[in-house]
């Protein structure tokens, strides 16, 4: 599915695999995951194989939050996968999740790029009155308490809820469908200062990556730093001294460079530099 949809990086939740490992999925993709219970929770990040060698650090905070740090063409890029407790869970569990996510974000330097892909189990709601800096006008439904936690987190960390900034028909904003219920609970977040680098964000209809959940995709552009190529030192063509004519010319020029002396100076460093400089001349 990732290959067909040309998705390079995918955050997944509710993996329900007990362990902290990385495993190949075939077709050129690899999954980094963390979980403590086969019956619930678990988070992961799937990378296209070409990005695996770019991974510098894997941070597994809990079975609800983990991150990968990559260096892509000189750009430090952090991918965070999160799975918030559902509406009916205890407040203590919800607070623990947001503390974990805060910990992840605080460990990332402000100069580095960040993308969070998470099932936040909350509705940020339609409209953005008083919240323009963190969200656009294209959420759906009314905001609930869990959605307010998402907005508060975004304000705290100067992030933007990417889904809500792109005007799409309702069907392309719904991330969760069950029976007659259609909601938006899965979001992608980025730093507010990097929002202009997002080309598009929408829900992919017809690709069910988990029960009732739909995949949210965005096109993110990274401005890479151009690496200055080191100037190659010009090679000295010493082999030309095998030719008698070149050898005689070299001796003559070297004698002139040494001030016409027949005997070499006692300072070998100076003599060596003069020989090298004379040898570098084109002939």
Q: Is residue 127 located within the same domain as residue 75?
A: yes
Question: 173 near 203, Cβ under 8 Å?
Answer: yes
Is residue 225 assigned to a domain? Answer: no
Q: Is residue 52 located within the same domain as residue 147?
A: yes
Bridge partners of residue 75, in order along the sequence: 72
Domain enclosing residue 272, as ranges:
238-280
**How many angstroms separate the CA atoms of 175 and 185, rounded?**
6
Low-confidence ranges of the chain (pLDDT < 70): 208-211, 224-234, 239, 260-267, 282-283
Q: Is residue 69 located within the same domain as residue 110?
A: yes
Is residue 231 assigned to a domain? Answer: no
Note the pLDDT of residue 213: 87
Note the pLDDT of residue 261: 64
Q: Is residue 86 located within the same domain as residue 113?
A: yes
Is residue 132 assigned to a domain? Answer: yes
Is residue 232 assigned to a domain? Answer: no
Note the pLDDT of residue 150: 98
Query: What's the structural domain count of the chain?
Result: 2
Q: Single out the residue of 22, 53, 48, 51 nearest to residue 35, CA to CA.
A: 22
Note the pLDDT of residue 11: 95
Q: For residue 126, what is the domain's CATH number?
A: 3.60.10.10
Q: Which of 186, 220, 254 is the last residue of a domain?
A: 220
Q: Is residue 185 located within the same domain as residue 270?
A: no
| Structural tokens at position 6 | 């040309």
Q: Is residue 22 located within the same domain as residue 68?
A: yes
Is residue 136 assigned to a domain? Answer: yes
Q: Is residue 129 located within the same domain as residue 269?
A: no
| Structural tokens at position 141 | 């439904």
Q: How far does Cα 86 stand from its chain's mean position?
A: 28
Q: Is residue 214 located within the same domain as residue 253?
A: no
Q: Is residue 269 located within the same domain as residue 168?
A: no
Q: Is residue 142 located within the same domain as residue 253?
A: no
Q: Is residue 22 located within the same domain as residue 133?
A: yes
Note the pLDDT of residue 162: 98
The string of pLDDT tens digits covering residues 182-231 is 999 999 999 999 999 999 999 998 776 666 889 999 999 887 666 566 66
Q: Single out the residue of 40, 36, 46 nearest to residue 14, CA to CA.
A: 40
The string of pLDDT tens digits covering residues 95-115 is 999 999 999 999 999 999 999
**How many angstroms separate the CA atoms of 174 and 181, rounded?**
10
Is residue 264 assigned to a domain? Answer: yes
Is residue 111 assigned to a domain? Answer: yes
Q: Is residue 242 located within the same domain as residue 187?
A: no
Is residue 114 assigned to a domain? Answer: yes
């Amino acid at each position: 599915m990732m290959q067909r949809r040309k998705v390079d990086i995918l955050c997944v939740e509710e993996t329900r695999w007990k362990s902290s490992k990385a495993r190949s999925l075939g077709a050129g993709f690899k999954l980094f995951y963390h979980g403590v219970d086969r019956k619930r929770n678990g988070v992961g990040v799937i990378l296209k194989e070409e990005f695996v060698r770019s991974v510098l650090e894997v941070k597994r905070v809990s079975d609800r939050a983990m991150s990968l740090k990559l260096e892509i063409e000189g750009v430090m890029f952090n991918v965070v996968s999160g799975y918030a407790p559902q509406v009916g869970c205890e407040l203590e569990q919800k607070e623990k999740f947001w503390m974990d996510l805060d910990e992840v974000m605080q460990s990332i330097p402000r100069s580095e790029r960040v993308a969070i892909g998470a099932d936040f189990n909350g509705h940020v709601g339609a409209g953005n009155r008083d919240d323009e800096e963190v969200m656009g006008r294209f959420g759906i439904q009314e905001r609930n308490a869990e959605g307010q936690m998402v907005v508060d987190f975004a304000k705290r960390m100067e992030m933007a809820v990417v889904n809500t900034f792109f005007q799409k028909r309702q069907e392309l904003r719904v991330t969760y469908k069950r029976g007659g219920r259609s909601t938006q609970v899965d979001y992608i977040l980025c730093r507010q200062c990097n929002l202009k680098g997002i080309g598009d964000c929408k829900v992919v209809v017809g690709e069910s990556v988990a029960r009732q959940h739909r995949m949210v995709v965005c096109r993110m552009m990274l401005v890479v730093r151009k690496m200055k190529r080191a100037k190659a030192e010009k090679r000295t063509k010493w082999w030309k001294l095998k030719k008698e004519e070149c050898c005689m010319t070299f001796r003559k020029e070297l004698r002139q460079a040494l001030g016409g002396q027949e005997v070499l100076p006692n300072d070998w460093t100076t003599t060596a530099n003069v020989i090298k400089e004379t040898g570098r001349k084109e002939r």
